[in-house]
Amino acid sequence: MDKRILVIEDDPSALRFIQYTLQQEGYRVLTATNGLAGIRKAQNEELDLIVLISCCRV
């Protein structure tokens, strides 16, 4: 079975980019645009990896 990854990122276009790139590598990608939605998906789905992209300002 394909590995399942949940990606949490607030910027929709960045999220789409990550989703597409990982899909090209053969992963099944679930997405969420905020922490709460991410937690809900993590509780309901069996996942292999969660990628949480936290916003860094330098």
Partner 1 sequence: MAQLDQVSTQKEEMLDSSSLLYELSRDLVSILDGYQVVSVALSYLAKVPDCQVAGFLVEDNAHPEQPWRFTVRIYRLGGESLVPQLTQRTIDAMQTVSEHVFQLNKVSIIIDGERQPDTALSQVNRELRSFASLPLIMRQQVIGMVSIGSGEKGIFNEGVVRLVSTIANQIMIAISNCRYIEQVAAARQAERLKSEFISNISHELRTPLHSIRGFTKLMLQGKVPDPETQKEFLTIIDNQSEHLGKLIDNLLDVSRLESGRFQIQKRYMSIKNTIHDAVESFYSLASEQGIVINEDIPATLPEIGVDGERLRQVMVNLLSNAIKFSNDGGSVTVKVEVKDSELMMQVTDHGIGIPEEVMPRLFERFFRVKDSAGVGGAGLGLYISKQIIEAHGGRIWAESKAGEGSTFSFTLPLNQAGGDSYG
Q: Is 13 in the site for partner 1 (CB under 8 A)?
A: yes
Sign of CA dihedral 33, 31, 20, 56: positive
Q: Is 45 in the site for partner 1 (CB under 8 A)?
A: no
Rounded-to-integer distance, Cα 45 and Cα 56, Å: 28
- Smallest gap, in angstroms, from Cβ of residue 37 to partner 1? 9
Q: What is the DSSP letter of 48?
A: S
Q: Is 16 in the site for partner 1 (CB under 8 A)?
A: yes
Q: Which residues bind partner 1 (CB under 8 A)?
A: 10-11, 13-14, 16-17, 20-21, 24, 34, 55, 57-58
